[in-house]
Amino acid sequence: MNIILLGPPGAGKGTQAQILVDRRNMIQLSTGDMLREAKDSGTEMGRIVADVMARGDLVTDEIVIGLIREKLLGDKAGGFIFDGFPRTLAQADALAELLDENGETLDAVIEMQVDDETLVKRIVGRAADAAAAGQPVRADDNEESVRHRLMEYYKKTAPLIGYYHAKGQLKSLDGLGEIDAVAAAIAAALDG
């Protein structure tokens, strides 16, 4: 089964993806994680994307589609979880083509709904907790970048909700509850 986790920054996509990895042996493909790895490894691509990410802007479609293309050739295990990808309609079209080329299908798109103020609080709180514990803080986890990431989400990514709804693949759920409750809602959406 291949699925997309769709939702604004801070909705909990990464947390839920990890649960699906553990329980269903799925493979999490997080473009955010891949881009941060590229940044930390000091590659040419990493240098190009670092400032873009810190501002909360989207990286070019070409770069993220390239990252995903490579991963689809690897181990499929219990299926792919696309986390933070696609984020634009062009990326959604590219994903459909890539899946098709690899003989794969997209089985569901899970939209996690969380209100804006909760998102800002979660992300800014996560950064404060990390700093207090001496952990690294993401360069884009400050209020200004978060508000910008939210605006990018509404302008460029939220149109995907209508797109996947029209294709009959969208399952929307409340992402506000406890982690286990959200995980149960996702399981019901996938198995129901």
Site for ligand ADP, rule CB under 6 A = 9-10, 31-32, 35, 52-53, 56-59, 64, 84-85, 87, 91, 140, 149
Tokens 């149109």 belong to residue:
159
Alpha carbon distances (Å) from 158 to 8, 22, 91, 145 = 8, 28, 13, 18
Least distance between ligand ADP and beta carbon 165 (Å): 20
Catalytically annotated residue among 13, 36, 39, 171: 13
Query: What is residue 2's DSSP assignment?
Result: -
Q: Is 13 one of the catalytic residues?
A: yes
Catalytically annotated residue among 55, 71, 122, 126: 126
Catalytically annotated residue among 71, 121, 138, 147: 138
Q: Is 126 one of the catalytic residues?
A: yes
Q: Is 23 one of the catalytic residues?
A: no
Least distance between ligand ADP and beta carbon 180 (Å): 21
Least distance between ligand ADP and beta carbon 52 (Å): 6
* Token pair of 148 as six digits: 């910008």
CA distance 110 to 43: 33
Sheet with strand 108-113: strands edge to edge: 27-30, 80-83, 3-6, 108-113, 170-174
CA distance 47 to 95: 25
146 touches 10 (CB < 8 A): yes
Least distance between ligand ADP and beta carbon 43 (Å): 15
Select 26 or 56, whichever has its Cβ closest to ligand ADP.
56
Helix (H) or strand (E) holding 83, with range, is strand 80-83
Query: What is residue 43's DSSP assignment?
Result: -
The residues annotated with a catalytic role in the active site are 13, 87, 126, 138, 149
